[in-house]
């Protein structure tokens, strides 16, 4: 998946937020990760890499 790096970056931020005790931010980032995964799945393989 050519956009997989975006999901990994969000997961890194999510982990950092959890490590710092920022649970609300971590939850917000989890929702963002899930949204990113849905959007990436809907793009298809022919979308341009950025």
pLDDT one digit per residue (tens) for the chain, 50 residues: 589 999 999 999 999 999 999 999 999 999 999 999 999 999 876 555 55
11 domain residue, yes or no: yes
- In the chain, the number of structural domains is 1
CA distance 19 to 25: 11
21: left (phi over 0), alpha (psi -120 to 50) or beta: left
49 domain residue, yes or no: no
Instruction: Tell me the residue range of the domain where 32 lies.
Output: 4-40
27 domain residue, yes or no: yes
Q: What is the model's pTM?
A: 0.79
14 domain residue, yes or no: yes
46 domain residue, yes or no: no
9 domain residue, yes or no: yes
pLDDT at 18: 98
pLDDT at 30: 98
């Amino acid at each position: 998946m050519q956009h997989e790096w975006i999901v990994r970056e969000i997961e890194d931020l999510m982990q950092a937020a959890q490590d710092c005790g920022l649970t609300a931010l971590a939850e917000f980032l989890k929702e963002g990760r899930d949204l990113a995964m849905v959007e990436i799945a809907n793009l298809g393989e022919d979308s341009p890499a950025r």
